[in-house]
Amino acid sequence: MNLFKKLSVLAVVWTFGLVVLGAYVRLSNAGLGCPDWPGCYGHPTPVHAIGEISAAQAQSPTGPVSLDKAWKEMVHRYVAGGLGLLVVILAALAIKHRDRLRQSPALPVAVFFLICLQGAFGAWTVTMKLRPAIVTGHLLFGLSTLALLVWSALRQREWAPLRSGASFRPYAMLGLLIVIAQIMLGGWVSTNYAALVCSDFPTCQGALVPAMDFHDGFSLLRELGKAPDGHMLTLANLTAIHWLHRLGALITFCYLSWLAMRLYRAHVLRSLALAVLFALLLQVSLGIGNVLLQLPLPVAVLHNAGAALLLSLMVAMNFRLARVR
Burial of 118 by CB count in 10 Å (0-12 exposed, 13-18 middle, 19+ buried)? buried
Sign of CA dihedral 300, 281, 150, 180: negative
Q: How many CB atoms lie within 10 A of CB 102?
A: 9
Q: Note whether 103 and 155 are within 8 A (CB).
A: yes
Count of domains observed in the chain: 2
pLDDT at 140: 94
For the chain, the C-alpha Rg in angstroms (whole number) is 21
The residue among 91, 113, 102, 96 whose CA lies nearest residue 156 is: 102
Provide the residue range defining the domain that includes 241.
163-325
Quick: pLDDT tens for 163-221. 888 899 999 999 999 999 999 999 999 999 999 999 999 999 999 999 999 989 999 98
Quick: pLDDT tens for 131-177. 999 999 999 999 999 999 999 999 998 888 888 888 999 999 999 99
Both 213 and 306 in a single domain?
Answer: yes
pLDDT at 324: 80
Alpha-carbon span 5 to 211, nearest angstrom = 52
Both 224 and 190 in a single domain?
Answer: yes
pLDDT at 163: 83
Supply the DSSP symbol for 204: B
116-138 average pLDDT score:
91
Both 215 and 105 in a single domain?
Answer: no
Both 178 and 154 in a single domain?
Answer: no
Q: Of 109, 131, 158, which residue is a domain's last?
A: 158
Q: Note whether 109 and 125 are within 8 A (CB).
A: no
Number of H helices, E strands in the chain: 11, 0
pLDDT at 160: 82
Both 69 and 83 in a single domain?
Answer: yes
- Beta bridge partner(s), residue 70: none
Between 255 and 119, the higher pLDDT residue: 255
* 232: helix, strand or coil: strand
Both 227 and 83 in a single domain?
Answer: no
Q: How many CB atoms lie within 10 A of CB 292?
A: 12
Q: Which of 52, 73, 158, 223 is catalytic?
A: 73
Both 110 and 30 in a single domain?
Answer: yes
Both 52 and 168 in a single domain?
Answer: no
> Over 90: is that where the pLDDT of 72 sits?
yes
Both 151 and 23 in a single domain?
Answer: yes
The predicted model scores a pTM of 0.94
278-285 average pLDDT score:
97
Query: Any alpha helices (H) in 97-234, and if so which ranges?
Result: 98-101, 106-127, 132-155, 169-191, 214-217
154: phi then psi, degrees, rounded to nearest 5 = -65, -30
pLDDT at 290: 96
223 is catalytic: no
Q: Of 133, 158, 183, which residue is a domain's last?
A: 158
Cβ-proximal residues to 240 (8 Å cutoff; 6+ apart), any chain: 212, 213, 214, 217, 218
Q: Note whether 228 and 216 are within 8 A (CB).
A: yes
Both 130 and 145 in a single domain?
Answer: yes
Q: How many CB atoms lie within 10 A of CB 311?
A: 23
Both 275 and 288 in a single domain?
Answer: yes
Both 111 and 201 in a single domain?
Answer: no
Mean of the per-residue pLDDT values of the chain: 94
Q: Of 135, 158, 181, which residue is a domain's last?
A: 158
Q: Note whether 276 and 283 are within 8 A (CB).
A: no
